[in-house]
Amino acid sequence: MHLTRRDVLEAALIGAAATAGGFWVKDGLASSSSKYADVFAELDRFAEQFMRDMNSPGMTLVLADREGVQRVTTYGFGDLDRQRKLNADELFQIGSITKSFLALVLLQLREEGKLDLNKPVVEYLPWFRIQSAFAPITTHHLLTHTSGLPGAPEPFPSDPAERHLAAYAPGEQFHYNNMAFTLLGYLAWTLDGRELPEIFRERIFKALGMSQSEPAIDFAMRPRMPRSYQPFWGERPYPRHGELCEAPQIVSSSGAGCIAATARDMGAYVQMIANRGRGPKGNLVSPESFELFSKRHIKAEEFGPTASYGYGIAVDELDGNPLLRHTGGMVSYMSALQVDLVAGIGGWASVNAQQGYRPNAVVKYGLQLMRAHAEKKKSPAAPAPDSEFEIANAGDYAGTFSGEQGQLEFASEGKKLFLVRSGKRIALEQGGEPDHFQVSDPAVTRFPLVFGRKNENGPVVEVSNGDAWYTAAAYDGPRQFQVPEAWRSYVGHYRNEDPWMGSIRVFILKGKLLVDGTPLELDGDRFRLRDEPSNTEWIRFGEVVNGKCMRLKYSGVDLWRVATA
């Protein structure tokens, strides 16, 4: 869509009017000319609520349908210190939504006869080192996160003798895997002859008119990006309205997440998906390839109870319609893409901060409003406010818990739960998992508070905070636990300065060895992470000096002990 002078003036007036109450909304094109214009005010009200609830610095949003981009909007700030409003032409890192771009490239290569999705990938990439007792891993397995390989390391281990260890037979279980898509980027390069950024520009961006986006993230594009943020205390649970700081710049050309795009350009991508693979210059991929792209290949409960996974994109439903969706998390950006294939509408949003959430709720509500308007139905009610302090069953956790490190006392009041310490009551926040909470108290802020029940739905009888364990009077389980002496040398704080890895802490709790709260299970010469059966990641401990392990490998990535708590 081309802007006229009148459009620009109108957009400026809309933006200026929306600053009432200190919340900034600015349209990047004349939204009043959109056929969905009547519902945009409702969406803006919810976006304001969402951003205040989630402590969002700024957010960019595009809505599109089969006919084209219907709205580009920015909310909030591109620079918190200077209170500079976000601009619609700024680049946002889209993170793992890049995976869907790469899947489409590989489907194009399949159409050209250069790729067999079911051929062992090592036949294309003989340098890729795998140790496996199972059937060969194929491109199909990598595209669907079912390879059984660990997802944390790079394809090239730092140790030349190291091989990537398959945890189970490919195709059987879904475990989200960034390394798989980094590897697929090398596969695309091998088959196409150009490196991945150039492939994206030539095969996707030019075909869709994405002229303002960049296929790799580097320092040169920094003037075109908003300032972006991460928690000030980066190695502990983040309270939702905690302090933020500006994040470091990164460089990425990985197929797991390397694209930076404007909202308008992402609208062209949404329009293509809504048209089932057809772009303005013809089909980006054939109907057969789009069916493979959007097929439910395997259940993917990491994306939700009704979700499956296609090729580089999740397949779900929204109000009865099939929905393609994906999220993207970067060091300091969080994004969400959703496209309703029946209604032919979709959206993308991104926040310039990494605070543990994606703006799915805003995109979802935008789609629901657009669909209701198109069907001449009443607009659905906006989602309820999301207070981090509202805990439906707060009374379950009230009481006094005792342990070797003293006592913890909790009190409830309605739907709020408090830690009572030194005569003060400090509210607990939801922690993202059942029975997990966090609290802004220096004594217990490093780890979440994890409550335990007598049985699945029984009363709460214990609480832990890292390796500190406390029990209620009703606890009647074991209190003494034996562990191998070697485990004590593994306990400690390990770190890698890569922003994707950072810190991990190993501790012993109730006879179990845990890493950041996830139990470890010995498997030969290494430990497996056992938070879920499909987890492919592993830890192997290294050299011991003066009774302390000095290094560990996390799925092949090195972390080193630091002499801090």
Q: pLDDT by residue for the chain (565 residues), tens digit each?
A: 333 333 333 333 333 333 334 678 888 765 668 999 999 999 999 999 999 999 999 999 999 999 999 999 999 999 999 999 999 999 999 999 999 999 999 999 999 999 999 999 999 999 999 999 999 999 999 999 999 999 999 999 888 889 999 999 999 999 999 999 999 999 999 999 999 999 999 999 999 999 999 999 999 999 999 999 999 998 888 999 999 999 999 999 999 999 999 999 999 999 999 999 999 999 999 999 999 999 999 999 999 999 999 999 999 999 999 999 999 999 999 999 999 999 999 999 999 999 999 999 999 999 999 999 999 999 999 999 999 999 999 999 999 999 999 999 999 999 999 999 988 999 999 998 899 999 988 889 999 999 999 988 899 999 999 999 999 999 999 999 999 999 999 999 999 999 889 999 999 999 999 999 999 999 999 999 999 999 999 999 999 999 999 999 999 999 999 998 8
Residue 471, pLDDT score: 98
Domain positions in the chain: 5-100+198-374, 394-471, 485-562
Question: Alpha carbon of 486 to those of 63, 321, 513, 558: distances in Å?
Answer: 56, 54, 11, 20
Task: Determine the Cα–Cα distance for residues 335 and 332; give it in Å rounded to an integer.
Answer: 10
Identity of residue 563: A
Give the SS3 label for residue 378: coil
At 477, give phi and psi (nearest 5°): -90, -175
In DSSP terms, 339 is beta-bridged to 324, 346
Task: Determine the Cα–Cα distance for residues 210 and 181; give it in Å rounded to an integer.
Answer: 22
* Class level of CATH domain 485-562: mainly beta
Find the angle CA(101)-CA(105)-CA(109) to the nearest 5 degrees.
170
- E strands in 352-479: 399-403, 406-413, 416-421, 424-430, 436-439, 449-453, 460-465, 468-471
**Residue 108 in contact with residue 203, Cβ under 8 Å?**
yes
Identity of residue 211: S
Q: Which two tokens stand for residue 345?
A: 């509408």
Residue 31, pLDDT score: 65
> Would you say the CATH fold of 485-562 matches that of 5-100+198-374?
no
Task: Determine the Cα–Cα distance for residues 188 and 105; give it in Å rounded to an integer.
Answer: 7
Element spanning 77, H or E: strand 68-79
Task: Determine the Cα–Cα distance for residues 41 and 46; give it in Å rounded to an integer.
Answer: 9
Domain 5-100+198-374, second-level architecture: 3-Layer(aba) Sandwich (3.40)
Other CB atoms within a 10 A radius of the CB of residue 380 amount to 14
Q: What is the pTM of this model?
A: 0.94
In DSSP terms, 337 is beta-bridged to 326, 348
Identity of residue 458: G
Residue 540, pLDDT score: 97
Would you say the C-alpha torsion 353, 359, 363, 368 has a positive or negative sign? negative
**What is the largest distance, in Å, between two alpha-carbon atoms of the chain?**
76
Task: Determine the Cα–Cα distance for residues 276 and 284; give it in Å rounded to an integer.
Answer: 9
Alpha-carbon 71 to chain mean position: 25
Would you say the C-alpha torsion 358, 316, 37, 39 has a positive or negative sign? negative
